[in-house]
């Protein structure tokens, strides 16, 4: 009686992201900015403005042309409790425990009582140890993707964009009664013999019905489809760009809550656990240039708040919060070096069952050759609810027509991530 216990947050967030073509630590993914500490509100270029700050779309130079991002993708995984390795361990022990229970026939107990009971006690101990380790453990992952076609113009710049971000989390809810029940079998041959005989005579359900621990997989995918427009104005000698992106917003929510002994991440996409919602939202932004080297920016994502409930599964329901995220940024730039910093002025929300985050980031880019850029940065959560990470990456731009950007990140709590972006200028 073998069960597949694939306790993988990566498969939940990333596979759902791939299946739905949606789904990042920010509400956008752009490899150049992600390599620079997740910044970009002031330092992004016009081709990525539709994804980061629509005002940047109006900052194209006279010789800039149509830019297409196709696509930008990224993923970040945090697994501080090493659940990735524990998946196989607990899966093996659950299977072994069930196999031992299945073999507890009256004849086996009578003809080989010592061997049967010892094996049963050993299996109960191993499973109890794993449940004890998994108490309160979680793992999470985010993923993102983006496409954009940006068309600069002196009067009104326009961009068509599609982007998405996914957030997934796996957590365990271990019932102490399960551990106590298994410890009772482990520590007493009398108890073990009584339980074994009852199971042998009345079926293994007599044992499994006493195990009540659950595991939950919670995930959200938000996809945006919109048209960004931007224009630059001159205010007292200061070039100020204003941009706005009205967008259609599609959200999928997944609430997979089952017995930990039957958890299979492949089931999370079932309609029993999934619901969706479609609505309207708006992004907006500002950018201003002070002299040749300084740019400041301000952007607001998802200016209309939306609370969406998951399906109720076995009495469990959660709410996913889409709320405004306002971010300010500043950048100092030359042809060789760009230094930049961003800070969220509001919290980033997600499921109500999770704590909110608020990010700040700093980054740098050095362009030693006109076809090569080297980037690095650091991003932190001032609320201390998400991992702080170091970021880095490189960019290649042969003939200044094809651009390939690569990034990676690593941080505390066993956090890692990677991203890539291909764009073309015509």
pLDDT, position 16: 45
Q: How far, in Å, CA of 99 to CA of 208, rounded?
A: 12
Of the chain, the percentage scoring pLDDT greater than 70 comes to 87
Q: How confident is the model at residue 107 (pLDDT cuts 50, 70, 90)?
A: low
Q: Does 38 have pLDDT greater than 90?
A: yes
- The stretch 214-224 carries a mean pLDDT of 89
Dihedral sign, CA of 70, 305, 215, 315?
Answer: negative
Gap between the Cα atoms of 296 and 289, Å rounded: 7
Give the pLDDT confidence score for residue 355 in this predicted structure. Answer: 92
- pLDDT of 287 over the 80 cut: yes
Cα 159 → chain centroid: 26
pLDDT confidence tier of residue 111, bands split at 50, 70 and 90: low
Over residues 385-391, the mean pLDDT reads 94
Q: Are 285 and 41 in contact (CB under 8 A)?
A: yes
Work out the angle at residue 362's Cα, subtended by the Cα atoms of residues 361 and 368, and round it to the nearest 5 degrees.
Answer: 145
**What separation in angstroms does the CA of 318 have from each of 4, 251, 257?**
26, 14, 11
Average pLDDT taken over every residue of the chain? 87
Q: Cα dist. 304→203, 283, 311, 321, 323 in Å?
A: 55, 9, 23, 11, 7
Question: Higher model confidence: residue 157 or residue 260?
Answer: 157
Residue 84 has pLDDT above 60, yes or no: no
What per-residue confidence (pLDDT) applies to 210?
Answer: 82
Going by pLDDT thresholds of 50, 70 and 90, the confidence category of residue 192 is confident
Q: Regarding predicted confidence, which is higher, 171 or 293?
A: 293
Tell me what percent of the residues of the chain surpass a pLDDT of 90: 59
Question: Which residues are CB-contacts of 180 (< 8 A; sequence separation ≥ 6)?
Answer: none
User: So what's the pLDDT on residue 97?
Assistant: 75
Across the range 301-311, mean pLDDT stands at 96
- In this structure, of 58-67, 224-233, 258-267, the range with the lowest mean pLDDT score is 258-267
Contact 90, 56 (CB under 8 A): no
- Please tell me the predicted confidence (pLDDT) of residue 43: 97
pLDDT at residue 69, rounded to an integer: 95
């Amino acid at each position: 009686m073998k069960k597949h216990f694939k306790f993988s947050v990566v498969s939940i967030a990333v596979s759902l992201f791939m299946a739905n073509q949606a789904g990042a630590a920010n509400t956008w993914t752009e490899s150049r900015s992600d390599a620079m500490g997740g910044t970009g509100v002031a330092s992004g270029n016009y081709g990525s403005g539709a994804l980061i700050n629509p005002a940047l779309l109006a900052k194209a130079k006279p010789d800039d042309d149509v830019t297409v991002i196709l696509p930008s993708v990224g993923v970040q995984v945090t697994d501080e409790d090493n659940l990735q390795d524990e998946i196989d361990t607990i899966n093996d022990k659950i299977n072994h425990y069930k196999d031992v229970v299945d073999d507890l026939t009256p004849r086996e107990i009578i003809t080989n009582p010592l061997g049967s009971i010892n094996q049963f006690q050993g299996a109960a101990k191993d499973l109890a140890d794993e449940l004890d380790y998994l108490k309160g453990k979680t793992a999470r992952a985010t993923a993102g993707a983006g496409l954009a076609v940006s068309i600069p113009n002196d009067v009104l710049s326009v961009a068509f964009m599609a982007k998405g971000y996914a957030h997934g989390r796996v957590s365990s809810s271990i019932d102490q009664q399960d551990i106590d029940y298994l410890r009772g079998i482990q520590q007493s041959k009398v108890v073990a013999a009584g339980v074994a005989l009852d199971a042998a005579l009345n079926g293994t359900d007599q044992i499994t019905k006493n195990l009540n621990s659950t595991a939950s997989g919670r995930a959200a995918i938000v996809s945006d489809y919109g048209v960004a427009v931007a224009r630059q104005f001159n205010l007292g000698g200061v070039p100020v760009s204003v941009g706005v992106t009205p967008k259609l917003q599609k959200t999928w929510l997944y609430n997979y809550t089952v017995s930990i002994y039957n958890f299979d991440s492949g089931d999370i996409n079932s309609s029993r656990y999934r619901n969706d919602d479609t609505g309207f939202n708006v992004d907006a932004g500002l950018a201003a240039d002070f002299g040749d080297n300084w740019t400041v920016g301000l952007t607001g994502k998802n200016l209309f708040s939306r609370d969406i409930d998951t399906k109720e599964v076995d009495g469990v329901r959660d709410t996913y919060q889409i709320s405004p995220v306002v971010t300010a940024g500043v950048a100092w730039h030359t042809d060789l070096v760009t230094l930049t910093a961003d800070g969220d002025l509001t919290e980033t929300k997600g499921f109500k069952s999770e704590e909110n985050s608020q990010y700040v980031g700093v980054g740098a880019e050095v362009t030693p050759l006109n076809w090569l850029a080297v980037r690095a940065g650091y991003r932190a959560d001032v609320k201390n609810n998400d991992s702080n990470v170091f970021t880095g990456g490189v960019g290649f731009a042969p003939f200044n027509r094809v651009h390939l950007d690569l990034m990676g990140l690593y941080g505390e709590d066993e956090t890692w991530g990677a991203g890539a972006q291909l764009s073309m200028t015509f």
